[in-house]
Every structure is written in structure tokens, then in C-alpha cells.
Structure 1
């Protein structure tokens, strides 16, 4: 498949606003690709050359890419800088540069999708002395063989930010549209796909976490083939996520009545997201202290750590974070204990890695513990000073059998039979409360012990990876910090003039697969923290205008604030008052950030 053909479809996608047309165009692209190119197209249309769980980073900055475009085209560097600033997109600037190239390639090679994919994967492996120049030369070689339109999307792929409006939901719907013929009600936002077809694709993605496999299976074997896909050890699955409860008492009642939208028959048909009641602990227990939820809800400690899953296959043990990043080497004490303490031949375990002070045994703040994710040297020393405990709260796979469709109670029973718990690998603290007073006492105990709060779980619920569901709610102190994405920045003045000290923060809008700004951050970090943050952000620059830069939305910050205000200045409709930096959330990806709807809920609860 010629790369120019992929670029043409990307142009169509970029110029399309209507959801149905977006899905139809992407479905046509998938149908057009042959069997060899389909898995490549599925990832490359989103600016990637591998699924997220492979953690493959090209390591190519915007400045490196800019140098490569200059080398390939011979345009004046200042002119390219101007084109970048005017268009706000280095891909569009590269398109201009190729169209105005001062160099002629005598032996240009035709770019293919497979060729570009292979070259970029090889580029990701360049390391050591001379790797920077090799990367510039490789990217320049690709650009010199591209026409102007292809250069636009080639550069965006190199930078990992495609800007064509395609998110996970679009890919899901397009696979259903392209390859499945399943009877049922129409699926919203698609030309002809049905809701059962979309559900079949979504379920397959939940257990594989790889749309390449899903697309290939849907084309070859249809819905029946998708139903046969299952967990594969070493390939992490999306974590099941909790909604936030607005109160402990109302949360107990809500989590016990799971609505039909979550795939389980409910008691009264009410929306599980409609929690009712005031926020915090000011509720009266009598209001929702009803017999119908007793015995049906598990209250579990919510730890301030790193969500992780352990894949155990005989002597092989691998750890992955919620972002699907492998951290096996960073937590040797946990891996060694799992190898000794897991009695099953194969297992997939879900839990929270928590750091504890090596001398006092008290839990340490997340920001201190999260250093272990990025640690490459002296891992053993850091493990001694800040040892980790793996608090397990679920078992998703056991000796060749998936447990996704089993109830939480049954899964916990298997967990107890699978792991011989000790101080390093232990069962997450939990209770089955008999009253709101019981639950509140457990919650206060968790907070007093230095943990975040509690998670409320429906004991009859199945496991639904990658979704925030009514079967699971988390309760923490009110006006909790927000996890927000940095989308643009401004260089500071004075002694910090070389640092990006003014950071614009955004919440995630899953409906539009976009980020909506909620304010600007400029306080809370030390000079050292800001310098380290600037170094990382400068690698994500996609456009410059004087001292202002637009950034690829990748880094998530934890931010505290005084209150939320209604605002027309930011496209979310809200603004943080006096935001303050708490730290980088190394365990979260951009789409894991707090949503605009969550910001709205907090605003209403003030």
C-alpha cells in the first residue's frame, strides 16, 4: 500500500466534522488495506507504530524533526520556523517546505506504509553516540521521498500526534462498520453498524488491548472470531476504573444498584451515576441506610500508589502500570515475591503498588514513590529506602481461564487461593459494611492511616476493563486535587526566563476525544522541579509563537486549587482559582486525566 494513499485518507479524516462521515471514511480505509497492511494502518492512522502496551518511543523531538525537514528540502530554517508558527503545526509546515523545496532528489523511492512503519520502528532503537544525527538523517530520508501531502502526515507520525480526530471510539466503530454484519439496533454515530457489532469490537479490545488483532480477527472471522479472543499473558489489559461518589452513604446505595447500561440487571432502573445528596461526610446516615445494599457492597482501602497488574506465567513475572508501561525491573522485590507466592501456573492479578518508608513503615506520598517508575540506576538502593507493597484486589485470569465474567466475590475467592499473602504481596484492606456508620469508620481509618479513602464495589459485578462503571465508586475527601494535562505553555520572566513556568491545564473530553482547558498554573514547583518539567515539555512542542508554545498533550499533572469558577476564558467553561502544582502523575496517560464532566460535578458540589 502506497503511503500517499494513507495520507489521502488522513486528509479526508482531518477535513471531516460529522461523526458518521469520519467512521465511514476510516472504515473505507480499513477495507482498502490488504491483510498485511491492515494492522499497520490501524495504528498509523493515529500516529503510532505500535500498540500502547509495547511502550515503543521514537524519541524524536520537534526540533530534531525540524532539522530533518530543513535537511530534506533545503528551505531556509527561519522560513520553516515562520511557516510552523503561522500554521501552528509542524506537519503543515513540512508540507509547505516540500512544496517549496530547493533540492531535487534524483533517485526518490516510493514510500509504502510498510516501509515507513519498518523505518520508524528501527529509528526507535537508535541509541548511543551519533544516534541524534542518525535520527535526523532517517527522518530527512523519509521526507525527501514524500510528496507535500504525505510529508504533512509523515511528520505528524514521527511526532506521534496525528490531529485527524480519530480516537479509540472511532477505530472501534470503524472496525464494526467495515467488517461485521450483526443484526440489531443501529449504533449511534455510525452509517450502518449495529450496537451489537460495536459491542463485540469493544469487548474484544478490552481483553486484547490491541486494535490490530481486533481488526484482523473481525475481517477474517467476524463476530464469532471476536468472541473467541481472550486474555494473553504479557499483553496488558485496560484497568477497570471507578467513578467518583459524591458521598459515602449515597455511594453505598448507588453501587449496589447497577443499571442496565453496565450490563447487569438493576433494582430500579435508575442511573448509577445519579448519586444524589450533598458531597462529603455531611449526609445523614438515615437517608440512604437501607437494607437493600447490606451484604452487597465491598468497601476497600483506596491506596495512594501506582495501579498495576501482574502477569505470572510460571517463573516469568511481568508488571505493567495503568498506562500499560512495563515496570518489571523497577520493582524487583515485588517480582521476586510474586514468583514465590503465586501458587497458580498462570495468573493475571490486579492491584496497587504502594511505597512505604523503609524505617518507619508509614506510606509515603505518591510523588516520592512514583520516582521508582523512572528509576534506571540504583534500583536496589531505592527499593531499600522506599520499599513497595503490592496490595492485590482482583484476579482476572487463573490457570488458563478468564475470570472477567465472574462476580467480584468469586474472583476474590480465586485470589485467596492463588496467592500466599505476606508483607510485600498482600490483600488490599477491605470490609463488607453492615451500615453507613461501619463504612464511615472504615473510611476514616483508611484516611488516618495515610491512604486516599475507600473504593466501593458491587460484589456481584463482573470486570469491565477500561470503563468507569456504576459497580465501582471511589470516595475521597471533598475538593480533591485534579489530574490535568498540559496543552500549552509560556516561558517565564526574570531568573526563570529559560523555563516553561506558565502551564495551561486541560481536562479530557471523551466525547470529542479532545482536551478542554481549565486554567493556567504557575506556582508550587521548585526551580529543580520546573527545570525537569521544562526539559520534558520541550520535547513535546508542536508549535511556537514567540515565547508561547503548543504542546503534544502527554504529561499529566496533579494540581490542587482553592475553588472552581465558571469562566468564558477557557473552552471547558470553568477555571481553577489559585491552582498549585503537586507533582507529575507518571502513572497516568492523557486520556486518564480527570474529565470535563468531573470538573463540572466538582463545580456544582462547592
Structure 2
């Protein structure tokens, strides 16, 4: 293809930006999705050129890696969500028509993963290993690479510059998407003796074959951060729209009809993905059956964890009654444990998943042993999915005569955190765990998400039974007055719980909404009834050296939140209160090995300047008196004005080792907390959507 033809073809797919409404950082709102559908419909119905990217390829051939990186370049060059969606949709549509067997790999490379979350396969490549691979493949000295990384803050850019200085004797074969994906998977699976050297060897081969900007995106994929502003929710929407259009090529549709079809199909794929978040299952089904047949072939399935439904925080019992006035609702204990989704398959296979889809079966072998006993003997329970809380449990005590001297009771989360996460043997367990079920999502081949909570709870109690010291139902009470809620809240606190979960009991508003933080579930925690409305989970990205008694440890820590859209960590506060001397020593020992020689390129720190930076691994749960605008920190910057949002008087509560670095409180949640606080101080309440979350 000539350059002239390339330019002509590209111009046919230029995007109008004048008057285009941009999406907010939480993702495309429903109105914006309709606009996106209309714009993409208009583009598709133009006379489509044969090649929509410069890196064209013949039908049936592997997709060139350059076709993907060219799309990444276009996405990185814009901040407009609709434009990002259009670029990606065009690529995925082209792949689904020409090389459909490459589509799944393309999707995974776009979200920077190799498989579903619950399989737990990760690259696990550190910065030092990548620098070593770049040095060996280009002949540059490590000291020069380190210095350049400090200047540019992006190892991908350093690799590009290093390749430009590298003399080439011969031209390597062009990279394809299947080759890159296979190599990344091979790197992730390598273990044992000399595995690091073998990983470097694979990376060097890939680098030798890279051309132009491919180097930058390859290194970023290996780092685990693409940093192009592509959120997973946009990938799901683009996938849906690409499939719809590819199935409509030979059908005459008006722009309005196609836009309506794109809008409806997007909603379908989103709903199915919420129930069955596995591209391994959804992408092949879309290619074979289209969006119209997706629901028939992809449903909630035991063994595939769905993203759990979450609750909105509330600061006062009065807010609960305002929300549920005139409606039936129930209050449940909010246990101080770890979310556990229990899946039991018809073949007897059993798995327990965390809130972020990590398979925790190896962490809880004691629960694996006890779960089969919870089925009632007179019920034919063959398969199920339960939503539960795993809580540390103090076993009953007995004297020498066998008389029970103390009953079993709940223990705080800190005790649960003491348990090993890997290679756990039942006989070695010191901290016992009890499972409390509060919902049932699937039973004997039937998804139950569409049923109201009252019906789901009835099925839960009809088919399962308590097992002493091992399993029980979440304690609940249907309340109607402030006094009843307050009494039940006091009881929960007395029983060592965090507070209450308040849920809609009947009607369409009481169905289970995977991956959404809904106002149909409210959490009322004892710690923040007079505070900001919620605790926050924040990542430790830096620290300040201690003084006086804290001379030999870190005296304070820099915290940040993770922005999934931009793949950056945004600074939010410095915290130095709420720590005991023992905790400061513990955190020094925990964080010292994570110290970095320089700040990560994806750390958006603003004017915050800690003495040391860390790898983003350790999460603190904190409380705060309130939130304020700050010229120093960057969390939610630009949402209210050019300043970021900061926490005033933050106080450490506990470590959260049950969450990953990308599961921290999001900038969107922080912005909402700030706006709610301002609305209350102004004597009004903030309107808005009932739900948010993944979408």
C-alpha cells in the first residue's frame, strides 16, 4: 500500500472532535454510550477502505503486532473516551473478520493479561530484569540505562532509544500477535533453575524483532502497565460493537438502526460479562453465535468467579431510612473478614475465590473440607455458588473434665491476616476460620441473580445447614425504625463485627448486580458514623525517614489511589498517625525490600516528595476526618478544579493483604466522597446514578 493510499484511507476514518462530549473518568455513562454507538455507526456506514491500519494483512494470516501497536499509539495520543473506543472497535472488527482466531489474544494484550484472573498466571518480571534484557540485547551499559530511566521515567521509551543506537546486521522477521502472546505466556510459566536467564533470552529475541514503537509497548506489557488510557470497560464495549458490525456487513441498515443495534448489543455483552467474566468463554461464543446468541451460551457458571456486588457507604442511620422509605429492607451483620465466593461443581470440584477473583482454595484447605457438609441431607444439592464472608474464629475452650469454659466467637481481621496464603496444611493451621453465607447466586444448574433477595435467602436456608464452628448464615434482622437499626448495630459491634449491611429485600431493586456498587446495598460501619462515610484502601508508594524515636524506621508514608483508566497511581496524603512502634518496625521490614532506585513512570505524585519510593504492593486501610482540595496531591485532579483531593488527619486502621494493588479505592470513589461531603455541608444531597462499579 502506498503512503498516499494510506493517508487517503486514514482520512476516511478521522474522528470529529468539535462538540464531542467526553466521558467522565468512571467510564462511559449511558448517554455517552449512545453517542458512541451513533458515531461508530456513522463511521461504519461510510465507504470502508480495505485496510483500516497501515499494517494490513491478508485474511487468515496472523495479525501483525504492528497493527496492534499502531492502535495503541492512536489511543495514547488522545484523552477522548469516544475516540479511544472508536479506534479499538475498528481494530477488533477488522481482526474478527480477517483473523478471528487471533481475537482472544488481541483482547488479552489490550487489557495486559494472559488469562482469566482466577487462573492467577502473571508475568512477574521486575524492572531490573527488563533493564538487564535491554542492556544485553542492545550492548548498552546498565548505568546508562538506569540514568536514562531516571530522566524519562518510562522503561519503554528507554528501550526505544536503546534500539535506535543498536547496529543491526540483518532484519528479523516481523512480530505477530500470536508470537508475542505465546512468548509472554511462556515467560510467565517459566520456573525453576535458571528461569531468569531463560526469560531474558525470550525477551531479547522479541526485542530483536521489534520495529519502531513496538519496542515501547512490548516493554510496557512486560512491566504490566501499558499506560495508554485504555480501561477494560472500554475493551468490553469495543468488543461488543466490533462483533455486531462484523455480523452486519452484508445487511442494509440505516445509521439509526445500526446505532440502536450497537447500543442494545453493548448492554447485552456487559451484562453477560458481569455474570461470566471470562474472555476465554465469551470471545469464542461471540464469534460463533454473535451477540444475539450470547446469553444462550454464556451464563453464570460454577468455577468462574463473578465480580461481587458491593455496597455504598452511608454516614447515618437516617440516610438508610431515607433510601429505603416505604420499602422492605433487611439488616445483616457486616463481618470483619474476607469476602469468599464458594463454588461447588456437579463433579464435586470445589473452589473458593476472593473479591478480586483470586483462587483462595490453597489458603483455606479447612473450608474446602467443611463446605461439603453444609448441604442438607434431604436436599439434592448438586452445584451452587454462595457469597460469604470468611472470618477468623476462636474455637470453644474446654477444661480437663471436658466441660466447655468458653464459647466460640469472632476474631478481628488482623487475626485472619496472620494465616499463610500458600502451601497451607490443615494440621498446621493455628487461626481457624468460620464461613458466614449471606447470599446464593447459583443452585443446581440455575443462576439466581434475577431473583429478589427474599427468594434467594429462602433458597439459601432451605438447602443448607449450619455446621458448628465451621459454617453459619449471616445474622440478619428486618428493621423499620431508627431505634431498631441502632439496637441491631450495637449488637453487631458487641459481637465484634464492623457494623451492618442494609439491603433491599423485595422487588426488582433487590436482584444481585455483579460488579456494581449499588445504593440498594448500604454499609453502615461503626467507625465512620460521624466521619466521611467510609474507610479507604490506599497503596503505599513512598515513605519519609523517621526522626527521634522513629530514627531507624520510616516515620510516615505516602499513600496513593489507582486510576484504572490512566494506569497511574495518584498521590492522596501523607500518613504518620495511628501506628504503634511495633507496627512501624513491621512496616519497615515489609517495605524495605520494595524500595526503588527511582520513581516509577506511572506514579503521578504532584509535589509530594518522599525520601524513598516503593513497588506498589502494600495496602493500608485508613480513616479520615474529611477530604479537602490540595495543590500538593493529585487524586481526582481536575474533577473539581485544578487541585487534587487530599485526606485531612488520616489514621491507619489495618493492612489489607486480601486486596491487590489495583483494588484500592478509586479516584472516582474519592471524588464522590468529596462531593457527598460538600453536599452535606451545603445542606443538600447529591443526585446521581444508583450504581457504579466496573462500568
Assess same fold via TM > 0.5: yes
For 1:397, the equivalent position in structure 2 comes to 442
How many Å separate the matches in 2 of 1:209 and 1:198? 15
1:5-30 superposed Cα distances (whole Å, 9 cap, x missing partner): 21111111111221111001111121
Deviation at 1:211, TM superposition (A): 3.7
For 2:149, the equivalent position in structure 1 comes to 84
Residues 466/551 of structure 1: CA separation in 2 closer, same or farther (3 Å cut): farther
- How do 1:356-371 and structure 2 match up within 5 A? 356-358=393-395, 361-371=408-418
Deviation at 1:175, TM superposition (A): 1.9
How many Å separate the matches in 2 of 1:245 and 1:510? 25
Deviation at 1:412, TM superposition (A): 1.0
Deviation at 1:342, TM superposition (A): 2.6
Q: Which runs of 5+ in 1 are unaligned?
A: 257-289
1:29-67 superposed Cα distances (whole Å, 9 cap, x missing partner): 212222111111111112222222221121211111111
Q: Which moved more, 1:151-160 or 1:475-484?
A: 475-484
SS at match of 2:79: coil
Residues 325/380 of structure 1: CA separation in 2 closer, same or farther (3 Å cut): farther
How many Å separate the matches in 2 of 1:538 and 1:210? 34
How many Å separate the matches in 2 of 1:139 and 1:576? 42
After TM superposition, the score normalised by the length of structure 2 is 0.74
2:231/2:565 contact within 8 Å kept: no
Q: Which moved more, 1:508-517 or 1:301-310?
A: 508-517
How many Å separate the matches in 2 of 1:101 and 1:36? 35
Aligned residues: 564
Residues 517/542 of structure 1: CA separation in 2 closer, same or farther (3 Å cut): closer
1:543-575 superposed Cα distances (whole Å, 9 cap, x missing partner): 499987777756532123454333222223322
How many Å separate the matches in 2 of 1:547 and 1:567? 17
Residues 92/138 of structure 1: CA separation in 2 closer, same or farther (3 Å cut): same
Q: Which moved more, 1:150-159 or 1:500-509?
A: 500-509
2:557/2:575 contact within 8 Å kept: yes
For 1:273, the equivalent position in structure 2 comes to none
For 1:388, the equivalent position in structure 2 comes to 433
For 2:316, the equivalent position in structure 1 comes to 247
Please tell me whether residue 333 in structure 1 is matched to residue 366 in structure 2: yes
Aligned to 2:480, which of 434, 438, 456?
A: 434
Deviation at 1:121, TM superposition (A): 1.5
1:477-524 superposed Cα distances (whole Å, 9 cap, x missing partner): 323763333374257478999987764323456777765432123563
For 2:231, the equivalent position in structure 1 comes to 167
Q: Which moved more, 1:508-517 or 1:351-360?
A: 508-517
2:333/2:476 contact within 8 Å kept: yes
SS at match of 1:574: strand
Whichever of the two has the greater Rg, that structure is 2
Aligned to 1:518, which of 547, 572, 588?
A: 572
1:226-269 superposed Cα distances (whole Å, 9 cap, x missing partner): 22220122111110111112322321341x3xxxxxxxxxxxxx
Residues 462/131 of structure 1: CA separation in 2 closer, same or farther (3 Å cut): same
How many Å separate the matches in 1 of 2:629 and 2:553? 30
Please tell me whether residue 411 in structure 1 is matched to residue 456 in structure 2: yes
For 2:123, the equivalent position in structure 1 comes to 58
How many Å separate the matches in 2 of 1:379 and 1:535? 30
Residues 516/193 of structure 1: CA separation in 2 closer, same or farther (3 Å cut): farther
For 2:205, the equivalent position in structure 1 comes to 141
Residues 9/185 of structure 1: CA separation in 2 closer, same or farther (3 Å cut): closer
SS at match of 1:217: helix
- How do 1:343-492 and structure 2 match up within 5 A? 343=376, 344-358=381-395, 361-372=408-419, 374-377=421-424, 380-382=427-429, 385-423=430-468, 424-460=470-506, 461-477=510-526, 478=528, 479=531, 482-486=535-539, 488-490=541-543, 492=545
Residues 121/432 of structure 1: CA separation in 2 closer, same or farther (3 Å cut): same
Residues 50/205 of structure 1: CA separation in 2 closer, same or farther (3 Å cut): same
